[in-house]
Structure 1
């Protein structure tokens, strides 16, 4: 059967147009390499270098050859929705584009499509990159992102990462040659892309509260963190100051003027002010701007400030940096239980800066709200990890006995291990045993909580625990559990001997034997374990 390309093109019109739209968003006319790619694809179409060899209707597969320096084979899978080329270039190559344009010419004008694509070119990225000013770098980001983000059009959540990576790949081509400028450029475009993307998501009312966005953000945060640490270890050029000024504005916008994921936005803000923005005059300037935001918010004259921004908390960052402990202490009276996670980050920020006074003030202000936060704001699956992290912070400050009890009371069942360590530290062994009777677990967990230390110092308090866990095994009524019960009784026997209660042990094991005389398998295990001797 003779292949009718025009008929095939009309049948697969939606696929062809969708692929060309993808090309429009992936390739930017301001990027020299992308413009060259389209030019060479058009050259192949005009010179009839594309040969449609055969079409397999059963699988909707079109086999073509593009006559280049050497023949290149392109396969279009209409049913699966993809195009394959045997050239080494990844993603879009001139061969794939030339095949699509050769099909498109049976549907509409290729020249019109090309003119429309080229009309989006407003600036030359090479010229902007050569100027090397913050304004030029920002204009480059805006140019690339404006091509990726159509005004008012929502972004599918699974495309967020692709859009950012595509923009970065185009901007990375203009990275400065000088090694000392490269991390600054990389950091600048990371923050500028994130800020622009976040702004578009909010304006287009796209879904930002999704696992896709959180995964994307956490990956970008890791890259930003690594780049910042690379910059912080090097001396700065005087010429880079304007770029850090521009970054200060971008980071502030990201925190104060965007919405959702306030904890993640604050993490970026703290990261910059902990590592990059280290000058006192810069901190004083930022504090003044934040006070202005606060004043405007009171007068309802600043519509840019997002309603999810805890401004007193942000002000605390600069009270810590500038060592204004009175203002910090005053602001800490406004803490709410729902803000615990934010203050957790603020405490770590203080600790990383060796601000011991601020660190202690923050943790002690958090203390009365921990119970409500853990039990009402955290999922049960999150509580164990959170308690462990919080306790690691409180270990670095001195607490009164009442404060210690308040802390461990807030932890509840999730703080058994740290509370056990505290009771051992203050040598309250009976309370240690009572705690583990209140929150029973297992012998192996007891060992992680300091069982061996208690056995050395106060073995008598362990006897009720061994009794409880042994009977728990017996109640399972299986040979394997009976064997485990005998192992526990052996430990109990050793503890009784250690504290001089041999007669108690003899009476106890005889009572156990009598109580469970109908359990033949248990009696056999008792005999094997030599517990009756």
Structure 2
């Protein structure tokens, strides 16, 4: 039964990835040996498929380990044990799955032959005279990348020139030659990730990949590359960068700029990486001004959205907000995710004065974004992020008018935030009203909150009960009539609390007269002692 749920090809691809992730070193040989023993002792139990690509299992040990195994991306697998990366428990679960499609013994034998395979690769590399990169030369790195990619193209069959093989084959080779210095290692990781990203576009140009059809197969690898870049940037931010890095940093913009010059998929992601790198490790006035001129010259030859946003980011770094706002008005609301990046940075810097200018300027972007033909999840996600930053500004400045104006602009996607604000300010009638606007009936609201409102401002609940009763009567069935009578009794209590008994009596009389033909409802009203039972 387990075999029927497995994709044989995907499991085999996973096996190849594990071979790449675990070179046949003495340490890894011991790890594989322990995992094999664990697997062959039937220590894996409660193996369960969670999704098309994810499995969960428990593994017997001194303390039982809980494993989540990802078939397509084993590097994303996790284990409850303290070991980092691919531990013996994760590998034991992998062997349990692999055994359903191939021989585990065959896998280990092929894996152990990797030393010989690596020597063969060395011979090929020597044949093509690929030079090792000089740790102290960026140009040497870039030359090494190009030579290795040419070699990868030659030795990799065309049908295997895929995102997966590029990531686990080509990138793995580049990683093996990373510098030893922590600073240079992080910068090397940024350049290798950008290089692999650009190689994906080369494969599109070569016809190996289709930008639309292969988008979802490329997406997880682009995410991994982004994570590597952001993590490396964060790592570099912890250092007081030494002057020895300056020649590397000064020449880094060329590679980063290439992300804006290519066209095709992952536009937002490419721009986000450009903005992150320039906002951190490259953010020096002289370099920013030089980049501005280069982007302007390129833009004069061919205008692109990517370069427009790149120039806006240069304006942001130079604090030329008015010029940035002028450009912002020329773009459509899809730019909101980029605007959120700027708001995030200003919030982290606690630049409340500059944020005041921004929040007074960009309301139209939010308004237009909320009208885009996007999924609710996407719209809600962006609005939620926006209010996360606006909330920090609001707590600092207490600008209630601004905060509520944005809440109204972003409805219904700001429903959660607006609801919390209205309830906290005891504006119960409005709180009830926005719940009604988004489709909540009075019976669906939290009972404790309704009790609190009934106690403090009973009049606020009256319109909602009237609406609910009308909707129930429209259903024209006995169960709806019984429910409407319950609502009428609660409504009567509210009218009594507000000392509006005369209005209640007039309403019930009108209701009785208008529903004379609804005999079942009239009977339920009599049973509930809402009207006189006498003929």
TM-score of the two chains, using structure 2 as the length reference: 0.63
Partner of 2:128: 122
Give the secondary structure class of the aligned counterpart of 1:148: helix
Name the CA shift for 1:142/1:320 in 2 (closer, same or farther; >3 Å): same
Deviation at residue 518 of structure 1 after TM alignment: 0.8
> Which of 212, 218, 223 is residue 213 of structure 1 equivalent to?
218
Give yes or no for contact 2:186–2:235 (8 Å, CA) kept in 1.
Answer: yes
Partner of 1:46: none
Counterpart CA distance in 2 for 1:221 and 1:494 is: 60
Deviation at residue 260 of structure 1 after TM alignment: 3.3
In the TM superposition, 1:64-463 aligns within 5 A as: 86=106, 88=108, 93=113, 118=124, 121-124=127-130, 127-128=132-133, 131-149=135-153, 159-179=162-182, 181-202=184-205, 204=207, 206-209=209-212, 210-278=215-283, 282-298=284-300, 300=301, 307-311=304-308, 313-395=309-391, 396=393, 407-408=406-407, 410-421=409-420, 429-443=428-442, 446-447=445-446, 454-455=453-454, 457-463=456-462
In the TM superposition, 1:470-485 aligns within 5 A as: 470-473=469-472
More contact order relative to length (CA 8 Å, sep ≥ 6): 1
Deviation at residue 182 of structure 1 after TM alignment: 3.8
Q: How many residues align?
A: 430
Higher-Rg structure is: 1
Deviation at residue 285 of structure 1 after TM alignment: 1.4
Deviation at residue 140 of structure 1 after TM alignment: 3.0
Name the CA shift for 1:507/1:263 in 2 (closer, same or farther; >3 Å): same
Flag structure 1 segments of 5+ consecutive residues without an equivalent: 1-18, 35-79, 98-113
Partner of 1:58: none
Superposed CA RMSD: 4.9
Partner of 2:49: none
Give the secondary structure class of the aligned counterpart of 2:362: helix
Deviation at residue 250 of structure 1 after TM alignment: 2.0
Give yes or no for contact 2:495–2:501 (8 Å, CA) kept in 1.
Answer: yes
Name the CA shift for 1:292/1:234 in 2 (closer, same or farther; >3 Å): closer
Give the secondary structure class of the aligned counterpart of 1:86: helix
Give yes or no for contact 2:390–2:403 (8 Å, CA) kept in 1.
Answer: no
Deviation at residue 166 of structure 1 after TM alignment: 1.9
Deviation at residue 444 of structure 1 after TM alignment: 6.9
Flag structure 2 segments of 5+ consecutive residues without an equivalent: 1-11, 26-99
Residues 488-497 or 205-214, more deviating: 488-497
Deviation at residue 468 of structure 1 after TM alignment: 2.1
Name the CA shift for 1:177/1:373 in 2 (closer, same or farther; >3 Å): closer
